[in-house]
A = this chain, B = another copy of it.
Amino acid sequence: MVKRNPNMAKLQSGYLFPEIARRKKEFLARNPKAKIISLGIGDTTQPITPHITKGLHNEVSRLGTRKGYSGYGAEQGLEELRNKIAEKLYNGIIKGDEVFVSDGAKPDTARLQVLFGSNATIAVQDPSYPVYVDSSVILGQTGNYNQRKSQFDGIEYMECVPENNFFPDLKKTKKTDIIFFCNPNNPTGAAVNRRQLKEIVDFARRNKSILVYDSAYSQFITDKKLPKSIYEIEGSKEVAIEISSFSKPIGFTGVRLGWAVIPNELLFEDGTPVNKDWNRIATTLFNGASNIAQHGALNALDAKGMKEMRQTISYYLENAGIIRDSMEKLGYEVYGGRHAPYLWMRVPGKTSWEAFEEFLGKANVLTTPGVGFGPSGEGFLRLSALDHREDVKEAVERIERCMK
């Protein structure tokens, strides 16, 4: 038969979250009565709010009528939505035609890797969202997995740990074609300040790198002094792509909607605008995001929808406060959770997976092992604050009771 793609063989075990799901299933098979609460995968739980739901319903109704029906939309998204994203979420710093609506930041990451091709080199924060690394491996940009380092050869891992305030030492960072930078960070929950973000942009400019700035959690930033978008930094348009998502702020994890911003100023070495090639990728390998989802997002960006969005985010951030207080009370060293729905917690004397098993076994609480996000995540757990309030409360009570 056909030869297996050798890059697929390089990947390590399963993608993190399916692996957690597998262990959960196994645990439930052994303990069928256990009531597991998940502070694990960053999955939303709050219902979609009324004004946004209305936007979804209205489009479904239109699609059921002769006059309101529409077929293929523009692969780049509804013009109205592109403009509204530019205006409402970027205060017009970028233009609507630089916004490309998609089915989410994860598939956009995959398509960006296809755009960059197999000769590109990448840098990632360590720890980081696993998709940057795995997509790089699949596209053939890396060497093999190096068991000793717990890293893929050919990827530049930028250590982000409490000791450096989760901000990489750029003097030690090698030049790469692409830098993935997630802020507020998944998994550490850290949010950079303006000076740090400028440092990253300047670094990309000096190295002539493309900075892929993942702002999927930017709506969780509550401190107005902190930058939300990369385009708040001068000179960023010539180096930065921003990918983002409606998943967390409006509960569209299952509805699927995100976007990428590719400024007109961003060029490849030969002068080709990056968004020209991205447009080709969007039209050739993708067929646009669901029209229904896009109409929900249009409502989300109304004044009414924005208010609902802020309420949803406040709810999750209050959850994060509850978890942080409790874990600190138990003596854990806890980071994040102020501008992100994630808390990052050191588990002294244990590996991440040992701690994962302990939380699951003793408190029946699902967490995410930090090492799943990269070698610098070893010895940490990520806790997600995206659950129902009563579940969050019960989870922390159980942990306080069972794990003192």
Residue numbers of A with Cβ under 8 A of B are 1-9, 11, 14-15, 17-18, 41, 43-50, 53, 56-57, 60-61, 63-66, 68-73, 103-104, 106-107, 109-111, 114-120, 130-131, 134-135, 138-140, 177-178, 208-210, 251, 253-256, 267-270, 272, 277, 280-281, 283-293, 386
Contact = CB atoms under 8 A, between A and B. Distances in A.
Nearest to A133: B284
A61 B52 CA distance: 11
B71 A48 contact: no
B139 A114 contact: yes
A290 B290 contact: yes
Contacts of A6: 117, 119
B53 A64 contact: yes
Contacts of A177: 2-3
B269 A71 contact: no
19 contacts: A2-B208, A3-B269, A5-B116, A11-B280, A15-B283, A18-B283, A44-B71, A45-B71, A47-B64, A47-B65, A47-B66, A49-B64, A57-B61, A71-B251, A72-B253, A103-B287, A114-B139, A135-B285, A254-B291
A117 B7 contact: yes
Contact of A106 (B11, B69, B107, B285): B285
A210 B1 contact: yes
Contact of A285 (B119, B138, B140): B138
A368 to B, nearest CB: 14
Contacts of A293: 290, 292
Interface centre among A64, A68, A116 (most CB of B within 10 A): A64
Given A139-B114, A178-B2, A287-B104, A53 B48 contact: no
Those 7 A-B pairs whose CB atoms lie nearest each other, nearest first = A5-B117, A110-B285, A4-B268, A53-B64, A43-B71, A71-B253, A254-B291
A358 B45 CA distance: 56
Contacts of A277: 4-5, 8
A47 B64 CA distance: 5
A138 B209 contact: no
B280 A14 contact: yes
Nearest to A278: B8
Given A70-B254, A287-B103, A115 B8 contact: yes
A48 B270 CA distance: 46
Contacts of A104: 287
A213 B386 CA distance: 41
Contacts of A281: 138
Contact of A73 (B50, B60, B254): B254
A68 to B, nearest CB: 8
Given A6-B117, A177-B2, A277-B5, A64 B44 contact: no
Contacts of A45: 69, 71
Contacts of A68: 47
Given A1-B210, A41-B72, A284 B254 contact: no
A56 B106 CA distance: 24
Contacts of A8: 115, 117, 272, 277, 280
B255 A290 contact: yes
A8 to B, nearest CB: 5
Given A4-B272, A292-B290, A140 B118 contact: yes
A269 B53 CA distance: 48
A269 B66 CA distance: 51
Contacts of A139: 114
A104 B289 CA distance: 10
Contacts of A56: 60, 63, 292
B69 A1 contact: no
A291 B257 CA distance: 12
